[in-house]
Amino acid sequence: MKIQWDKQTCSHSGNCVKSLPEVFKVVDGQFVIEPDKATDAEVVNVINQCPSGALKRVD
């Protein structure tokens, strides 16, 4: 699964990092997404809860 993150749209609420820190994390000041660290269902659930809509699944 590929995930697209729109930095300009992001409200930086931290919901993704708090919900799935093994997938969504900040490393050396950069936002890193590693979708293979969780199930597709878990990742999609977090994407759907993004308040700003900055996260999108790309098929």
Residue pLDDT, tens place only, 2-52: 999 999 999 999 999 999 999 999 999 999 999 999 999 999 999 999 999
**Secondary structure class of 58 (helix, strand, coil):** strand
Q: Give the confidence band of 59 by pLDDT, cuts at 50, 70, 90.
A: confident
**Secondary structure class of 44 (helix, strand, coil):** helix
Q: How many residues belong to the chain? A: 59
At 14, which amino acid appears? G
- Name the architecture of domain 2-58: 2-Layer Sandwich (3.30)
> Look-up: residue for tokens 């999108």?
56
